[in-house]
Structure 1
Amino acid sequence: MTRRTYTVLALCLALVATGVVAGVWWTHRWKGTVTVLGNWTGGDRDRFRSAVLDPFEREHRIRVIYQGSSAESQVLAADVEAGTPPDVVIMPGPGELAAYAAAGRLKPLDGLFDPDDYAPMWAPRVAGGVHWVPVKADLKSMVWHPGTLAGADVARIARDPGEWCLAMESGATSGWPGTDWVEDVLLQQAGWEVYEKWATGVLPWTDPRVREAWTTWGGLVGAGDERRVVPALRGGFQDPWDGPDAACDDERLEHQATFVRDGDHWTEARGRYVHSRTVVPDARTGPPAWEVSADLAAMLRDTPEARALIRHLADPATEQPGFTANRSVPQSAYDGDRTTARIDATLRGRGTMRCWDASDAMPPAMRDAFHQAVLRYLAEPRALDGQLALLDRVRVRLTVPWLPPVCGNG
């Protein structure tokens, strides 16, 4: 052989060896792939990736391809219609998942985790089986205030709309901070039994108690006042305190869920909270009822990789991306400070009445109409009766199943 032939042969052998090594490395590195669709983007996505998904990949050698979208409902609907759904979806609330389960799109999770680790409302049996598991839980019915403001003073200043931070923009789901308000006012004024009938499609939107919840909210936040409404409609809920177009500036109160305490504003203000019935006019007395929400994982394709991920998400030993509804997680996981421990006790304690965020529990068409209605009501409160009549027509026309009872104290 010539020297050139030896050189070419050596190069070919080197390339083959490199390919073999790469193939062995790849086989060792990944045993499979699982696709996940969620609504977490930005910092929320990064925290979920580092706290939950990266450890799963290291332990199981299963690659997780995560897609986050603020228009998750639309993306999922398109993927399902095209026959290319993700293996696992993580959605905020059970209403949309209940519709997919009834249509046979979700795979049962029976045997992948113990439902008894959760209160029945968190992981109910729907369409013949358990179809979702909570990944991250949040407490609502909260009014946040600066640590320098005494809790006893919150009710006094809450009657002034200028004291409230209100920001409604949230991409494809704009309006949900307003639906949270209306829901919570109804829960505190009318009680959980009325709330549950309304949230499950039994009670009409035109019921006087529902109407009173809307007008109470409007009075608290200044519905119809252009100086208040325009910034609120434009302001992004994720960071309403910062930037040249900030919706909130000197306001001292915010009606928002637990996740708001992670933001810069409430960290710097040493934020504390009171139960929302402190500020809701004509709120009922007695044991408090709390509105709650959760991001729920469901399986659309039954693969070994998807099953492994569901087990990991439900495992009490898995680091949590936030608060959990899993009772097998030790309380010591939330002993960091008094506020954290108090929130955890409310989310997981027995005997506490908790109700799903109603819009999250409603069928998608009802939820979307509700979102739009609160935006219109802020701008034109005098048109409320027409909006409620429209919402009730949507309720009556819906043929998809509504979620089973949305409240429980288990």
Structure 2
Amino acid sequence: MSRPGARTLGVLGLCLLLLGAGVIAGVRWAREWQGSVTLLANWSGREREQFEKNVIEPFEEKHRIDVVYQGSSALSQVLAADIAAGNPPDVAVLPGPGELLAYAVDGRLHPLDGLFDAGHYDRFWAPEVSVPGQDAHTYWLPVKTGLKSMVWYAGHQPTAEAANPPGRWCLGMESGATSGWPGTDWVEDILLQQAGPRVYEQWAGGRLPWTDDAVRKAWTTWTDMVGAGDSARVERALTTAFAADCAPGRLEHQGSFRAGHWQQAGGDYVHFSQVVPEAGPDAGAWEVSGDLAAVLNPTPQAEQLIRYLADPDTTLPDYTANRAATADGEQDATEREIGTVLREPGRARCWDASDAMPRTTRDAFHQAVLRTFAAPDELPARLTELERLRKPQNLPVCSAG
């Protein structure tokens, strides 16, 4: 057997050296990972893809923390089951503060004090909440926010008279496990515009009966405006998805997430107070929504994720409530206007009432609007049922604007 020459040995040595360097580099790269964090939210499809691309991937690259994302349309049920099994996610993102408040009272949430600059947010978005046996703490952080109290249209700007025929309205009530919420938005917004923020906050906070005249009036106004009880209209609305396209010439009472659809149709929006019958002297407040992040398992990785989500330089989906966030140069005039309403100090804003209510009340509210839409003459019975579930709670529902 011939011995390898000096050149062959040199090449072999170089290969071994490079291989060893690669192994060392690979080991060092693997060691850079600083653990993982589990995240539960209800985003799916394109919404999830955008969140993973714009938020999760940059976070993982910057902090070397693996984000294990779990998405579910049955968010409340999944979270409750995980907690009951003793295996909650590190971070959960829920729509609205009502359900989160219940977990805070039960001692399931961990304070976020010191993890972000609270001064960057209107305290309405990230309030200090008092729970029994604890000092006041901030328990959640808005990740994305949305504007409601909007009536979308294309063509002539609608008036109260033009918006009255039920046939003018595009209405879809189907939303899987949460079907009915578009109807609750109607009832809430009508009460907000007719009775004003003070009455609205009392009702949403469980301090005003469901059988109160102002609440009853909001329900009956809604049933009149959408033509409740008409079998053909009811069947069509109950089987139409909330985000289905609207026919030309229709109006739609929906939130800012519909901006793209209506802009493609050359449309715009007006405040709901301009078309709702008998709007009161305090009309003009905005109903808003938000997905809120809370920590159930206070690991260093979970706390780092909260810091990242609150960083003004982090690109978040849709609209952010962080007043220190860098302006998005790609937003058009309508999107900038919506963002201003959501962030600007002094604006009168109120949480989507069903999202601020306890989970049991919220779910019953969804069912009540579906049943009332089909049989409006049964409204008294529905309100009596909801009244049995009323529970006062310590939660700021409206901003001081």
Distance in 1 (CA, whole Å) between partners of 2:119 and 2:238 is 42
Partner of 2:231: 226
Partner of 1:409: 400
Written as runs of structure 1 = structure 2, the 5 A alignment for 1:10-21 is none
1:39 maps to 2:39? no
Written as runs of structure 1 = structure 2, the 5 A alignment for 1:66-215 is 66-126=69-129, 127=131, 128-146=136-154, 149-151=155-157, 153-215=158-220
- In the TM superposition, what whole-angstrom CA distance separates every residue of 1:367-387 from its partner, at most 9, and x where no partner exists? 000000000011000000000
Distance in 2 (CA, whole Å) between partners of 1:352 and 1:328 is 17
Distance in 1 (CA, whole Å) between partners of 2:41 and 2:97 is 14
User: Who wins on radius of gyration, i.e. which is larger?
Assistant: 2
Give the secondary-structure state (helix, strand or coil) at the position aligned to 1:165: coil
Written as runs of structure 1 = structure 2, the 5 A alignment for 1:363-402 is 363-395=358-390, 398=391, 402=393
When structure 1 is superposed on structure 2, of 125-134 and 194-203 the one drifting more is 125-134
Task: Report how far residue 267 of structure 1 moved.
Answer: 3.6
Task: Report how far residue 125 of structure 1 moved.
Answer: 1.0
Give the secondary-structure state (helix, strand or coil) at the position aligned to 2:389: helix
Aligned residues: 379
Partner of 1:319: 315
Percentage of pairs with the same residue: 56
TM-score by length of 2: 0.90
- In the TM superposition, what whole-angstrom CA distance separates every residue of 1:63-121 from its partner, at most 9, and x where no partner exists? 11111111000000000000000000011100000000010000100000011111111
Give the secondary-structure state (helix, strand or coil) at the position aligned to 1:374: helix
Q: Aligned in 2, Cα 1:337/1:285: closer, same or farther, shift over 3 Å?
A: farther
Partner of 1:56: 59
Amino acid at match of 2:237: A
Give the secondary-structure state (helix, strand or coil) at the position aligned to 2:160: helix
Q: Aligned in 2, Cα 1:25/1:329: closer, same or farther, shift over 3 Å?
A: closer
CA contact (8 A) 1:143 1:273 kept: yes
Distance in 2 (CA, whole Å) between partners of 1:403 and 1:224 is 37
Task: Report how far residue 160 of structure 1 moved.
Answer: 1.3
Task: Report how far residue 23 of structure 1 moved.
Answer: 4.4
CA contact (8 A) 2:193 2:283 kept: no
Q: 2:343 aligns with which of 325, 348, 372?
A: 348
CA contact (8 A) 1:94 1:403 kept: no
Task: Report how far residue 172 of structure 1 moved.
Answer: 1.2
- In the TM superposition, what whole-angstrom CA distance separates every residue of 1:321-342 from its partner, at most 9, and x where no partner exists? 1111111124x33673221121
CA contact (8 A) 1:350 1:409 kept: no
CA contact (8 A) 2:153 2:249 kept: no
1:299 maps to 2:295? yes
1:357 maps to 2:352? yes
Q: Aligned in 2, Cα 1:260/1:403: closer, same or farther, shift over 3 Å?
A: farther
Distance in 2 (CA, whole Å) between partners of 1:161 and 1:54 is 46
Distance in 1 (CA, whole Å) between partners of 2:381 and 2:46 is 40
- In the TM superposition, what whole-angstrom CA distance separates every residue of 1:191-222 from its partner, at most 9, and x where no partner exists? 11110110000100001110110110111111
Distance in 2 (CA, whole Å) between partners of 1:357 and 1:287 is 16
CA contact (8 A) 2:150 2:254 kept: yes
Distance in 2 (CA, whole Å) between partners of 1:267 and 1:84 is 44
1:282 maps to 2:290? no
Distance in 2 (CA, whole Å) between partners of 1:321 and 1:202 is 34
Structure 1 stretches lacking a partner, 5+ long: 1-12, 242-247
Distance in 1 (CA, whole Å) between partners of 2:238 and 2:96 is 23
Distance in 2 (CA, whole Å) between partners of 1:58 and 1:70 is 28
Partner of 1:217: 222
Amino acid at match of 1:57: E
Distance in 2 (CA, whole Å) between partners of 1:194 and 1:334 is 39
- In the TM superposition, what whole-angstrom CA distance separates every residue of 1:301-323 from its partner, at most 9, and x where no partner exists? 00110001000001111012111
Distance in 1 (CA, whole Å) between partners of 2:174 and 2:371 is 13
CA contact (8 A) 1:145 1:154 kept: no
Q: 2:254 aligns with which of 247, 253, 256?
A: 256
When structure 1 is superposed on structure 2, of 277-286 and 301-310 the one drifting more is 277-286
Amino acid at match of 1:130: T
Task: Report how far residue 175 of structure 1 moved.
Answer: 0.6
Distance in 2 (CA, whole Å) between partners of 1:25 and 1:38 is 29
Amino acid at match of 1:386: A
Distance in 2 (CA, whole Å) between partners of 1:406 and 1:169 is 26
- In the TM superposition, what whole-angstrom CA distance separates every residue of 1:263-291 from its partner, at most 9, and x where no partner exists? xx424212311000111100024562111
CA contact (8 A) 1:141 1:255 kept: yes
Give the secondary-structure state (helix, strand or coil) at the position aligned to 1:111: coil
